[in-house]
Structure 1
Amino acid sequence: MMRRVLASSRYIMIIPVIGTFLGSVALILYEAIALCSSFIDTIRDGSVSAKSVKIFAVGIVEAVDVFLIGIAVYIISIGLYSLFIDDKLPLPKWLEVHNLEDLKGNLVSVVIAVLAVLFLREVVAWEGSSDIAAFGAGLALVVAALTFFLMKNNARRR
C-alpha cells in the first residue's frame, strides 16, 4: 500500500512542471509583445540618430536576456517532467536529463549565457560615467565559478 502511494506521489511534480511551463510561455510571449511594441514605437518616432539606435539596441539585448530566462525556465519544466513523470520523452541529446545534476548543469549553462547578455547590455548602454570594469570583473568571477561547477560536475559523471 505504502509503496503504491509513494510511487504515485511523483505525479505531484506535475504542479511545478505546469507552473514553470506556463511561466516560460508567459515570459516569452510578454517579451515578444514588448519587443514588437518597441519596434513600432521606434518606427512611429521616426528619429534616426546614434542615441536612438543605441537605445533600440539595448532594448533588443534586454529582450534576448528575458528570452534566455524564459528558456531556462522551460528547460527546468522539461527536465522536471522528464525526471519525475516520463523519462521516455523524446528530447535532443543536449536537453536529455537523467538526474538532478543534469538539470542543474543545463540551468547553469543558461545562467552563464544570461550573465553574458547582461554584461553586453551594460556595455552597450555604458556612457562612461560608471566603472564598468568592476561590474565586468564581478560577473567574470561568477561565470568562472559557474564554469568550475560545470567542469567538476562533468568530471564526476565520467
Structure 2
Amino acid sequence: MIEKIFENGLWGSRFIVILAVFFGLVGALALFVVASFDVYDTAKMVINTYLSHSHIEHFHEEVVGGIIGAVDLYLIGVVMLLFSFGLYELFISDIDPAKGSEKENTILAIHSLDQLKDKISKVIVMVLVVGFFQKVGHTQYHGALELLYLALSITAVSVGLYFLSKVGHHH
C-alpha cells in the first residue's frame, strides 16, 4: 500500500513540468512582442527617413541590423515554443488538437528528450547563424586578410548548415 501511494505521488509529480511549459510560453510571447516592436520601430525609422529626406549614416546597416535582430528574437521565441510543446507532450499528455494536423508529424512530433534536444539545438544554431550575420554586417574590414577571414567564416557556416540539414534524414 505504501509503495502504491509513493508511486502514485511520484507519477503525479511530473505535473511540476507545467511550470516550465507555462513560463516557456510566456517567454515565447514576450520575445514575439519585443521582436514585433523592433520591426515596427525599424519600419517607422525607414518611413521617417524617406519622408523627411534626411540622411542617416549607415542607414542600410541600421535597417538590416534591426530586422535581423528581430528575426533572432523570433527564432529564440520558437525555441521556447518547441521547449514548451515538447515538455508538455513528454511529461503530461499529447496535444490533441495537433493530432491529424499536417504539422503534427514535422514540428510537434517529439517522443523523447533526444528529439526535443535535437529540435531545439537546430533552432539555436540558426539563432547563432543569424547573430553571426548581424555582427558581420556591422564590422569594418581593413585589408585583404580580414576579407579572407570573412570568406572563410561564411564558408564554415555554410558547411555547418549543410551538415546540420543532413542530421536526422534517413535516405
Q: Hey, what does 1:26 align to over in structure 2?
A: 30
Aligned residues: 151
Partners of 2:140 and 2:74 in 1: CA distance? 25
Q: Hey, what does 2:15 align to over in structure 1?
A: 11
Of 120, 141, 147, 1:128 maps to 141
Of 51, 57, 74, 2:58 maps to 51
| C-alpha distance 138-10 of structure 1, shift in aligned 2 (>3 A) | farther
| C-alpha distance 138-124 of structure 1, shift in aligned 2 (>3 A) | closer
Give TM-score scaled by structure 1 length.
0.79
Identity in percent = 26
Written as runs of structure 1 = structure 2, the 5 A alignment for 1:2-151 is: 2-46=6-50, 47=54, 51-89=58-96, 90=98, 92-95=104-107, 96-129=109-142, 131=146, 133=149, 137=153, 140=156, 144=160, 151=167
CA RMSD of aligned residues (A): 3.0
Equivalent position SS for 1:92: helix
CA-to-aligned-CA distance 1:51-83 (integer Å, 9 cap, x gap): 212210111111111111111111101111111
Letter in 1 for 2:125: I
Partners of 2:154 and 2:90 in 1: CA distance? 34
Partners of 1:66 and 1:121 in 2: CA distance? 12
Contact 2:38–2:67 (8 Å) recurs in 1? no
Letter in 2 for 1:94: T
Larger Rg: 2
List gaps (5 residues or longer) in structure 2.
Answer: none
Contact 2:38–2:66 (8 Å) recurs in 1? no
Give the superposition deviation at 1:87: 2.3
Partners of 2:84 and 2:155 in 1: CA distance? 27
Contact 1:76–1:107 (8 Å) recurs in 2? yes
Contact 1:115–1:139 (8 Å) recurs in 2? no
